[in-house]
Structure 1
Amino acid sequence: MKGKASRWWMIVFVVLLPLTVTPLYADNDQGHGAEKNARRYTLSIRSQTVEQSLRSLASVSSKQLLFPYDQIETRATITLVGRYTLHEALAIILDGTDLSGELTSEGVILITPRQKSSDFERGDNAMNSKKKLLAATVGFLMGAGGSSVLAQDMADKQEEKAWVLEEILVTATKREQDLADVPISIVALSGETIDSRGMQTVSDLSLAVPNLSVTSAGGGNRFYYMRGVGNGNGVAPLVGTYFDEVPVSVTGAQPDIRTIDLERVEVLRGPQGTLFGQGSVGGTIRFITKNPEFNNISGHFGLSTYNTKKGDWSEEVTGVLNIPVIDDTLAFRIATSYENKSGWIDQIDKSDVILAEDINSSEGSNTRIKGLWQVTDKMRVSAMVVRHRNKSGGPNFVLHSADGRFTAEDGVMRSAADPNMPFGYDDEHDIFNITATYDFGYSVLTAIASKVDTYNLSDNETIFLTVPDGGVLEVARIGVVDETEIVSQEIRLSSAADEATTLEWTVGVFLADSELKNQHANVFRDFSIFGLGVLEGGPKLPEINSSDTIALFGDVSYGINDKWTVGMGSRVFRDDRSILTMDDGLMLEEEFDNVSSKVYLSFAATDNANIHFSVSEGFRSGGFNPPSDSAAGAPPSYEPEELLTYELGTKASWLNNTFITEVAFYYSEFTNFQGAVLDPSTSLTAFKNSGEAEIKGFEWDLRWAMNENITFMLNGNFTDGEFTSIPQGTVQQKRVGSSLDNIPEYSYTLAADYQYDWFDSARGFVRVDYNTQGPNTVTVHNAGIIPEVGESKVLTILNGHVGVNWTSFSIELFGNNLLDEDDGLSNWAFVGRETQYRRRSYGVKFDYDF
């Protein structure tokens, strides 16, 4: 553990920063009033009616829109792609019409008929001015006006540009910024893109996001890996997950977050410890939900059904309802889904006779209720409740035996010890959140309170351990329960979004209390290879890991000139942890602390190209070995593990923003790696800080809107991670040169989107996604089991969608995993099982918007 004395400078920095930057910010704001009217917006408005184009412009610029409802033209505008001021964009959209546009002093885009000379000759000027303003106002009141929304709302509705992500405004730095201006490697997927690609979970997202991989057995039994980071040991995650403002990842396993009715998903690659805290070592995934709308009742209904190879038919239903209660003041939004999914894995006995079919079939529901209250012009409050329930006949595990008798392709599973014992898996989580914001003008205050509860029950956790002479030790843990609870609060103050200022900052404090409880009913061990038969162990009472966390954080950036921006951030973290084992009543307590920092530099090489460089730190808190092992000689605790990453990246747009390139190179040093170590002096295997590793690689993202109908995307990554140092005097599962576990050597995705006018009121579409994931390895030296090194095969996933959109209704035919990839996601033959993608599925989907 590190001393605290040297950390006080950061506490002073966090406390004093808002006091020192506020007057500077205020001075800056006064000198740039004229510049605001000349702001340029990144636009990608396809050829459509004048009214639709004006709506899109209003959405992007976050301006209200007034126009003469009875005089707006239905003629098509030209495609508008690039960076424009409002004046330039209005001139292009209204070119050839009898309308003119202006931005009023109140910040409203006003569209009026051009005045004809005959009007003046008749003396009708004053009357016409009143009429056009009245018509514009009526048009606004009838729902024709724009509102303050993210630029993404426009991008979401332009399916042919769904992969052109540069336009999206994101909040990855806890301040609203254009995606292209954020000095980190980030992927942002709009809600429209997620829906059109049929993405439901992070496992689906990983097929579209380079350097994000997932191992999942279904439900809440899933682990995320990003940029080579995802150590499954320890009691905290290495990839952070946020649902709106709520941190939902409290353990190494992640909850089953669903993507229904999202505004967007942001995937932040590389350490994010300064703003998102411990657990965001490899990166952070942020799910941003849609807010309720104040002034219109609207909704969505979706129905899909599909058939899975070796399984049966599945059904899924989704519904969204937006309910305004008080105009411009109070509204609620309900998003819900129900699924009845067929499995495809069969349970067999020791004679390979099928005992039960499709044991991983599942039934579940997910419901979210979100309310938004605009208390005053400056203050708003949102509240959210999420309830997730999923019950499965078993996880997505298939047999993969070390002797090759069974592989993932066989699609079968057997229970250890007693083959008749059933499998089963229950996954539940509840999320509660209230967030309040207040706009002071020069800064925005945000206060967040949240609570997350998770519950996972595994009826039968089976593993098969093969010893070197070929015998197999079978172990089944029955009734394994994991329960977590995390209560968190965050208060932060951020500079207001304003392109005129050169200084931006965020400071805040974060507090969290969390508890992880683990227990099981029985353990069966088949020691027949040793002549002992099946031995039964009694129930294990709860083992409780508790954490009381406080962190102070701050981030500030300064625009030196119109080319260069420099920034830094830091986070002071303290974690009071304890572990209590109810079986023996033993308890351990310890305090862990850490400071993680980040410095970054951004250079605007041209108006359309940025280069960024950063040095950032990430960390995961320390933890404990069971007190009984400590009493027998194992170390009572292990220290936090840390990651130091150097990143150089560039983001550029070409050909009027129709071709976008993003590339990032990174090098990371992983220290105090938390791993399992055998101590020869005590013959105990315990968790220790077991070595150092290095990770290097690069990732790319290329997107090309060839025309208004066709879009291509090619992205991918190469990652190389290996151990560079192992402590002496211990027997390690890893060696110098061993690869980091479960990290694909490479991956790439090729996607194409083609849209066409089928007939006047319908637009057809064809979408194809092709993903390849390279091999990854798992290493377990000196554990007395084989194989010591397992390498997975190359995985290839092909998905396709074809359908047609009417004004409010769409129908599509889809196929997932069309090549029927049946290999395991990782080679876990040393435990006799691995996870598998859903087999080839064909189906049909109906959507209705109102």
Structure 2
Amino acid sequence: MNNTRKIMCTSVAAALAVLATPAGAQQFKPSDELEVVTVTAQKRKEDPAKVAMSISAVTGAQLQAEHIRDITDLTRVVPNISFTAASGNGGAGPGTSNIEIRGISSTAGAATVGVYLGDTPVTVGNVYTMGNIEPKFFDIDRVEVLRGPQATLYGASSMGGTIKFVPNEPDLKEREFTTYTEASNTKGGSANYAANVVANLPLIPDELALRIGVQAQHTGGYIDQVDGNGAVLANNINKINDQELRAALKWKPTRGLTITPSVYYQRIDAKDIAAFNLELPNYQAQKQIREPSTDTLLSPSVTINWDLGGADLTSATSYFERKFDRTQNGSAYNSYSLSTFLTSTEDGGKAPPELIEAIAGLPSAVYLNNQVRQVSQEFRLASRPYDAAVSPWTWLAGTYFSRQHTNVVENDPIFGVTALFNQFGFDIADPELLPDARPGQFPNDNSFAGAFHYREKQASVFGEVNYYFSPALHATVGARYLKADTTLEQRNGNYLAGAGNNSNAATSSHAFTPKYALTWEVSPTNTVYTSIAKGFRLGGNNIFVPPTTCGPDLEAQGLEAGPPDYQPDSLWSYEVGSKSRFLNNRLSINADVFYVKWKNIQQGVYLPTCAYTYNANAGDATSKGFEFDIKAKPIPGLTLSASGGYVKAELSNDVGIENGVVGAVAGARIQGVPKYNAAINAVYNFAAFGDKSAFVMAGMQWVGSSKGSLDPEQTDHDRPGYHTTDFSAGMSFDRYNVSVFMKNAFDTDTVIQHPQVASIVQGYRLAPRSIGLTLATRF
């Protein structure tokens, strides 16, 4: 299925047409046809209706007009995409969510969805509750969502699909300045605002151009922090500030050579997470420690395209660095865990009950400092597009190399713990009071210190060949061979690390991932296709699980220690689909069905008492379902669209529970995957005040129920379905476009996730209703 017509978003683009029209020419001229958006899913520009895969391409105009701000918004308007928090993390804020496509869950191990920023791969694994990198939708031409395994052209971790953020390129001809400002207010919370400016500057006409833009945004909060008596300590604590900068230079020294260096930077500063205590009044969080985070991304790259006459050579050299520093409230497990180790006087020990109770109530923080760095290089050579007069063959071949380093540093202080022991007249290093205690195990009250260094090296060769039996019928065969080496160095210490751990581990992986497809253009406006493809992701090494803190949890899993590693997993996907346009491109209908067999699935095992997670292989799974997209333009100016998907993703054997994964039995639904999602949208463009263009728009999105955990005893096992409704309207005035909008118009407040972190059940909901105003200009 090709959701691109949602995507084709003609109505939305028309609603913002003033932004793409020279000054003095803004006249309302509604098109009778749906717009077609070119995509680069197969690393060459193509009409998506001719590509044998399910694609959605959401344009920048649609992102702006429908106020799609982030990945979570995107999952509500694109079929069969979902998001969930990193394993054991409960949706704890920006930078911790993971993306699933077609039920291929990525809550543990390597990612299952590849993420690209232009030609730069920015895919990271699920390491230590760190989720996907989430580039902001700033100066974006389109976002392409490729469903199904993309291992042939995009490598490991694209087993569920790939998401490509395609930025606007510098224009060698037109000088242009655009601005966008927005202000809104959230019900029961604080104000939101955003502003950006982008300049396109031809420095040498037709040869050299610079495109540069900056953006700043503030998202207001709606969660209040309260103390044990319910008194408000701080309002709207879950505020988020972010800033973005993008600069790109396009140099075309000769007709056949284009060199495009670019750099993207973003910083996301979250003041706290959007979690509240379900036992308290709505949207209140009782916590001793605030949980802020700072997530920065720097990504420079250079892309070279060289027309060699008979083929096109592309070189993509890229680097990215992510720094993600965050604080978690560790009071509910660090302090409590320590209190359980004290030898109580009631059992013949030395610790009075008053000391045990006081220790359990101490505040504790988990400080996580994450850094990911990657350098990558891809070369690919592609033949000319198909020409029956030249050859029945087209082809693409390439090679890819990458080196990724991930560093994680954790420190878990229990504030005031040493002084509290002294206050009761005890030495914190007394082994008769605290078993196995030794001097120096609580430096500066730090109960746990860990340092983890992951290295990953990848090298691969890939290619695809198309053979045209006739101009209307062609077959595709592709393959990728990949080799990878991963290592983990870890150093753990202090009391909650038990005896500590200093170890090194290494694993190697290799994979051959073929793809086969058949495409038949039944008519110029009707294409049917079928495809078979293999997906793969790397295995890896587990972090050390402290037996002192996590002993009871490990015993419950039937283990004496956490497993040292986990194995690769792979899948085969089978898909049949059609893409059709009718009534002179005023109606498009796209649909597909798929079936996926997934082997040796990687899953996270969450240890609730100590809040640690290790990865294990939880047997096999199947995922099957369908997607559809319908878009119609019954009369000029009116565009109606409906899209949706259904997926049934579940384990197919009991191997997982035999490996200690609670609830991993045949028939258990894969966590984080809604049964369905759907969206409808209606936009009417019309003339106002003579030749001014105006629009009104309404849309609804539905997300089905899902499972937050395989374990039916967990509070987040059953997640409810929910729906949202949005409205907007706007008008253009010469160089200006003004609109008003209402997001989550009926203030849906369903608690969509409710994980238990230690003894506290947390709630997460959709952002409350917001009402706002936007102003866009172009000069």
Partner of 1:839: 768
One-letter amino acid of the structure 1 residue matched with residue 617 of structure 2: N
Deviations 1:568-596 (A, max 9, x none): 11111111110001334311112111111
Distance 1:587 1:572 in 2: 27
* Equivalent residue letter for 1:227: R
Query: Which residue in the other structure is 1:207 paired with?
Result: 76
Within 1, Cα distance between the matches of 2:184 and 2:715? 39
Alignment of 1:38-117 (within 5 A): 81=33
TM-superposed deviation, 1:830: 6.3
Cα pair distance change 1:266/1:434, threshold 3 Å: same
Instruction: Find 1:497's aligned residue among 371, 378, 385.
Output: 385
Q: Does 1:745 pair with 2:678?
A: no
How far did 1:477 drift?
4.3
Gaps of 5+ in 1: 1-42, 47-51, 57-72, 82-160
Q: For 1:649, give the aligned amino acid.
A: G
Deviation at 1:660, TM superposition (A): 0.5
CA distance in 2, matches of 1:836, 1:495: 49
Determine whether 1:541 maps to 2:470.
no
Q: Does 1:735 align with 2:665?
A: yes
Match of 2:429 in 1: none
1:331 aligns to 2:209 (yes or no): yes
Which string of whole-angstrom CA distances, capped at 9 and with x for unpartnered residues, describes residues 18-62 of structure 1? xxxxxxxxxxxxxxxxxxxxxxxxx9999xxxxx9xx99xxxxxx
Question: How far off is 1:537 after superposition?
Answer: 5.0
Q: 2:465 aligns with which of 556, 576, 581?
A: 556
The letter for the 1-side match of 2:107 is G
SS of match in other structure, 1:193:
helix
Instruction: Output the CA distance in 1 between the equivalents of 2:453 and 2:763.
Output: 28
- How much has 1:78 moved relative to structure 2? 9.9
| CA offset digits 1:367-398 (Å, max 9, x no partner) | 10011000211110001111111212112223
The CA deviation string for residues 625-659 of structure 1, in whole angstroms up to 9 with x for no partner, is: 23678997654322211121111111111111111
1 CA distance for matches of 2:454 and 2:605? 21
CA distance 1:817–1:512, change in 2 (3 Å):
same
Could you tell me how far apart the structure 2 residues matched to 1:229 and 1:490 are?
Answer: 26
**Deviation readout 1:211-234 (Å, 9 max, x if unpaired):** 112235443222111110123111
Structure 1 residues 187 and 76, CA gap change in structure 2 (3 angstroms) = closer
User: Is 2:651–2:669's contact at 8 Å kept on the other side of the alignment?
Assistant: yes
The superposition leaves residues 736-768 of structure 1 with CA deviations (integer Å, 9 ceiling, x where unpaired) of 211100100111101011110002341110111
1:523–1:185 Cα change, 3 Å: farther
Assess if the C-alpha contact under 8 Å between 2:747 and 2:769 holds in 1: yes
Which of the pair has more CA radius of gyration?
1
Aligned equivalents of 2:329, 2:383: Cα separation in 1: 50
Name the structure 2 match of 1:250: 124
d(CA) in 2 for partners of 1:291, 1:801: 29
Alpha carbon RMSD of aligned pairs, Å?
3.2
Deviation (angstroms), 1:279: 1.1
Residue 98 of structure 2 corresponds to residue 223 of structure 1: yes
**Cα offsets for 1:155-194 (capped at 9, x unmatched):** xxxxxx4xx5xx2211101122111001000011222222
Deviations 1:324-378 (A, max 9, x none): 1111111110122111221111112233332211111122210100110002111
> Aligned residue for 2:169?
291
Structure 2 residue 234 is matched with structure 1 residue 356:
yes
Q: What is the aligned partner in structure 1 of residue 512 from structure 2?
A: 595
1:661 aligns with 2:565: no
CA–CA distance in structure 1, aligned partners of residues 229 and 246 of structure 2 = 46
Matched residues in 2 for 1:384 and 1:354: separation? 46
User: Residue 653 of structure 1 contacts residue 659 of structure 1 at CA under 8 Å; is this kept in 2?
Assistant: yes
From 418, 422, 434, the counterpart of 2:290: 422
What's the CA shift for 1:413?
2.1
Q: 1:789 offset after TM fit, Å?
A: 6.0
Letter in 2 for 1:665: V
- Matched residue of 2:58: which SS? strand
Within 1, Cα distance between the matches of 2:238 and 2:27? 54
Report what 1:179 is aligned to: 48
Moved more, 433-442 or 729-738: 729-738
Contact 2:711 2:717 in 1 (8 A): no
> Aligned to 1:423, what secondary structure does the other structure show?
coil
Does residue 263 of the first structure (1) align with residue 133 of the second (2)? no
Counterpart among 392, 398, 404 of residue 514 in structure 1: 404
Q: Distance in 1 between matches of 2:40 and 2:399?
A: 18
Say which of 618, 626, 642 aligns to 1:690: 618
Q: Which amino acid in the other structure matches residue 698 of structure 1?
A: F
Cα separation, 1, equivalents of 2:666 and 2:768: 37
Q: How does 1:363-374 map to 2 (within 5 A)?
A: 363-374=241-252
Distance 1:189 1:45, change over 3 A: closer
Residue 794 (1) aligns with residue 721 (2): yes
Tell me the equivalent position of 2:282.
Answer: 410
How many matched pairs? 677
Q: Which has the higher contact order (CA 8 A, sep 6+)?
A: 2
Instruction: Flag the 1:507–1:333 CA change in 2: closer, same or farther, 3 A.
Output: same
Match of 2:579 in 1: 651
Deviation at 1:597, TM superposition (A): 1.2
* 1:465-507, Cα deviation, whole Å (9 max, x unpaired): 8x9xxx9999964221221111111011111235545322111
Secondary structure of 2:169's counterpart equals coil
Aligned counterparts, 1:8-27, within 5 A? none
Cα distance 1:284–1:79, how it changes in 2: closer, same or farther (>3 A)?
closer
Q: Aligned-pair distance for 1:201?
A: 1.7
3-state SS of the aligned residue for 2:717?
strand
Give, in whole Å, the separation in 2 of the partners of 1:199 and 1:410: 26
Cα distance in 2 between the residues matched to 1:394 and 1:280: 31
Q: Which TM-score applies when normalising by structure 1?
A: 0.75
For 1:490 and 1:672, locate their aligned partners in 2 and report how far apart those are by CA, in whole Å. Answer: 30
Contact 2:294 2:326 in 1 (8 A): yes
Residue 195 of structure 1, CA deviation: 1.8
Partners of 1:738 and 1:721 in 2: CA distance: 9
Cα pair distance change 1:669/1:44, threshold 3 Å: closer
What CA distance in whole angstroms lies between the structure 2 residues aligned with 1:809 and 1:460? 44
Is the 1:314–1:342 contact (alpha carbons within 8 Å) kept by the matching residues of 2?
yes
Q: 1:624 aligns with which of 541, 549, 570?
A: 541
SS in 2 for 1:192: helix
1:191 correspondence with 2:60: yes
Are the aligned partners of 2:28 and 2:687 in contact in 1 as well (CA < 8 Å)? no
Say if 1:78 and 1:511 are closer, same or farther in 2 by CA, change over 3 A.
closer
Worse-superposed segment, 325-334 or 451-460: 451-460
Say whether the 8 Å CA contact 2:55–2:145 is kept in structure 1.
yes
Identical pairs, percent: 24
C-alpha contact 1:250 1:486 (8 A) present in aligned 2: no
Task: Provide the secondary structure at the position in 2 that maps to 1:725.
Answer: coil
Q: Per the alignment, in what secondary structure is the counterpart of residue 551 of structure 1?
A: strand
Q: Structure 1 residue 440: deviation in Å?
A: 1.3
Q: Residues of 2 paired with 1:811 and 1:548: CA distance?
A: 49
Tell whether the 8 Å contact from 2:124 to 2:133 is kept in structure 1 after alignment.
no
